[in-house]
Amino acid sequence: MNTYTKYWFLEGFNLFNKLGRITMMRMCEILEMKNIDKGSTVELINNDHKSIFFLKKGTVKIIDTTTDSVKYIVKKGHIFGELSLYDEHDNIEEQAIALEDCIVCYIESFRMKQIMEKHKSLKNGVLKIYGLRIKKLERRLQDLLYKDSTTRIKEFVIDYIKEFGEQTEKNIIAKNLLTHKDIANLTNTSRQTVSNTLSILRKEGIIDYNTQSISILNTTKQHTIQN
């Protein structure tokens, strides 16, 4: 894929807003682009080099390989693999799996570091993303200490639909990309508890779901859940 096409693909990333066209074009010259099939693993290390990934299309989940549990979900327009910028070890204790067909651009981490050192806005942007992910992990720890499992699942599901869904005339609807095991990992609960909680939420008319989608039906009730 040529440089101009890569440039068009990266225009949707807020991270690059302040770089300028010339810098963006130079960056695109060293970017690689790849299509990732649903269910496939995104190789975070290519030819012994760690890389940073820009997700143009699709959704991926990041798994902690030491615990085999889901750490977080990445949607289009965001980056992943940024841990390699701050971890000097050769091994990466993360794995990325495509939850649907994806398109990614990627750049070797040492090249990304060089560009970040020249452009403070890019460096600050990446640090902000890294910091927000740490905050989310901290929130999960706080929730584990102070909220019961049912509440954690309810709040996670509502947040997921709002973040990954689209507003329609009647509801907010998102693709149903996560298994019950994934939700259990992300809320530190069990698959059975997830199944029971989702069934209760559907019976109460708060959400609806099938194999393809999950939606918020009653915004008044879901607001009550979060407060």
Closest listed residue to residue 112, CA positions, set 79, 134, 89: 79
Decide: 158 and 226 in contact? Cβ < 8 Å: yes
Q: What is the pLDDT of residues 208-227, one digit of tens each?
A: 999 999 999 865 454 444 44
3 state DSSP class of 38:
coil
Name beta bridge partners: 52.
Answer: 107
Domains detected in the chain:
3-139 (2.60.120.10), 147-225 (1.10.10.10)
Percentage of residues in the chain with pLDDT exceeding 90?
A: 45
24: left (phi over 0), alpha (psi -120 to 50) or beta: alpha
Calpha distance 28→100 (Å, rounded): 25
Amino acid making up residue 161: I
* Bigger pLDDT: 213 vs 17: 213
Reported as a single tens digit per residue, the pLDDT across 34-64 is 999 999 999 887 767 889 999 999 999 999 9
